[in-house]
Amino acid sequence: MPSATLLGQALISGVLAGGMYGLLALGLSLSWGLLRLVNLSHFALAFLAAYLTYELGTTYHVAPWWAAAMIVPVMFLIGIAQHWLFDKFKVNELASLLITFSFAVILEVAIQLYWTADYRRFETHYSTMSIKAGPFYIPVLELALCMVAGVLAWGTWLWLRKTYVGKALRAAAEDADIAAAYGVDHKKLAYLLSGMGAAYAAIAGTFIALIATLAPTQIWAWLGVVFAVVIIGRLGNPLGALLAGMLIGASESIAMAVFEPAWAPVVSFSVLIAILLWDPEWL
């Protein structure tokens, strides 16, 4: 039987890892829930941002937060440009899967051409720093990631509920024609939301560069679990995405501590199936 310290440490580790799932799920959830576009290129954009952070950090010695300050606006514009294409070609929900998958593949090849297929690791002196709390250790970077994810998720949730733009977006997602009758310009708002999704991908990418291993094929490593997180957290619900991410992360980590680590990938989908069978009202 694992000790309480081991279980506690695994829980901390899992919740913090879940912060990354939640952060990656945030943009995807908004795009899928409010624009009805399943944007698979979200993962590729996050990795492009991660590689740019790595490049700026290792070649030009730019601190990650300054790198993020440069990359996030660029990604916002890329998100807008991407939506212009969706709009021009009247891409629907199903077609968006195929088209954004193609975008992701193109980006993967482009990343491999420039950075090669070899593993890249952005070593920083703070990458292994931890805070000691009793018998537990809390990794500083993962904690920062969770705090950023929390601020973004909470801020976006408030923005969607309390501001005119947010309410208009939600109304348009419910029924675009009725919303338009009330003067909501859904198309313009969609550009804003698409840009925001890409900007969130860039923020996730900055943390990926600091925490994870970079290899072009890693783009696909997060896809399954983040999809489960988006569905469990409910489409278009930023707080739900973060909480679902933490739930999945904690479940995986506890499974690794108690059973075999190889069981971890089964956990996210088992939780998803269990929740779909339960069919709670909030889903």
Partner 1 sequence: MNDRMGAWRRRHVLGGFIGLAALGAPAILRAAPSGQPVKVGGTLSLTGFLAQTAVIHKIAAEIMIEDINSRNGFLGRPVEYVLLDDQSKPDVARSLYEKLITVDKVDLIMGPYATAPILAAMGVAQRYGKVMIQSSMGIPNLQTYDMAFPATPFGPEPDKTYPNVILDAMASLPTPPKSMVIVTSKFPSAQFMAKGMRIEAEKRGVKVPLYLEYEAGNRDFGAIAARVKEANADFLWVGSLGLESNQLLEALRKLDYTPKTSFHLYPAPGPLALSPDGNLVWCSTFLEPDEPFMSRPGMKKIAELYKERATKANLPYAIIDAQAAGMVAAWQILEAGVNGAKTLEDKQIAAWLKKNVVTTVYGPTKFDGLYNHGEPAQLIRQVQDKQWKVVWPKQFVAPGVKLIPT
Using CB under 8 A, list all residues that contact partner 1. Answer: 2-3, 5-6, 9-10, 12-14, 16-17, 109, 112, 115-121, 123, 127-130, 132, 137, 139, 212-213, 215-217, 221-222, 249, 252-254, 256-257, 260-262, 264-265
- Roughly what angle, to the nearest 10 degrees, separates helices 164-174 and 140-162? 80
Q: Which is nearer to partner 1, 195 or 245 (CB)?
A: 245
Q: Which is nearer to partner 1, 119 or 164 (CB)?
A: 119
Q: Which is nearer to partner 1, 179 or 211 (CB)?
A: 211
Q: Which is nearer to partner 1, 64 or 249 (CB)?
A: 249
- State the Cα–Cα distance between residues 197 and 226, nearest whole angstrom: 14
- State the Cα–Cα distance between residues 32 and 231, nearest whole angstrom: 10
- State the Cα–Cα distance between residues 171 and 174, nearest whole angstrom: 5
Q: Left if phi > 0, otherwise alpha if psi is -120 to 50, otherwise beta: which for 116?
A: left
Q: Which is nearer to partner 1, 127 or 163 (CB)?
A: 127
- Per-residue b/e over 123-155, b at no fewer than 16 CB within 10 Å? eeeeeeeeeeeeeeebbebbbbbbebbbebbee
Q: Rounded to the nearest whole angstrom, what is the least distance from the CB of residue 124 to partner 1 in the complex?
A: 11
Q: Rounded to the nearest whole angstrom, what is the least distance from the CB of residue 43 to partner 1 in the complex?
A: 13
Closest by CA to 243, choosing from 170, 142, 159, 149, is 149
Q: Rounded to the nearest whole angstrom, what is the least distance from the CB of residue 167 to partner 1 in the complex?
A: 36
Q: What is the helix (H) or strand (E) element at residue 204, kind and residue range?
A: helix 186-211
The residue count for the chain = 283
- Roughly what angle, to the nearest 10 degrees, separates helices 238-258 and 223-232? 120
Q: Rounded to the nearest whole angstrom, what is the least distance from the CB of residue 233 to partner 1 in the complex?
A: 18
Q: Rounded to the nearest whole angstrom, what is the least distance from the CB of residue 217 to partner 1 in the complex?
A: 5
Q: Which is nearer to partner 1, 192 or 223 (CB)?
A: 223
Q: Which is nearer to partner 1, 190 or 257 (CB)?
A: 257
Tokens of 23: 């952060």
Q: Rounded to the nearest whole angstrom, what is the least distance from the CB of residue 164 to partner 1 in the complex?
A: 39
- Return the sign of the alpha-carbon dihedral for residues 154, 274, 18, 96: negative
Q: Rounded to the nearest whole angstrom, what is the least distance from the CB of residue 144 to partner 1 in the complex?
A: 13
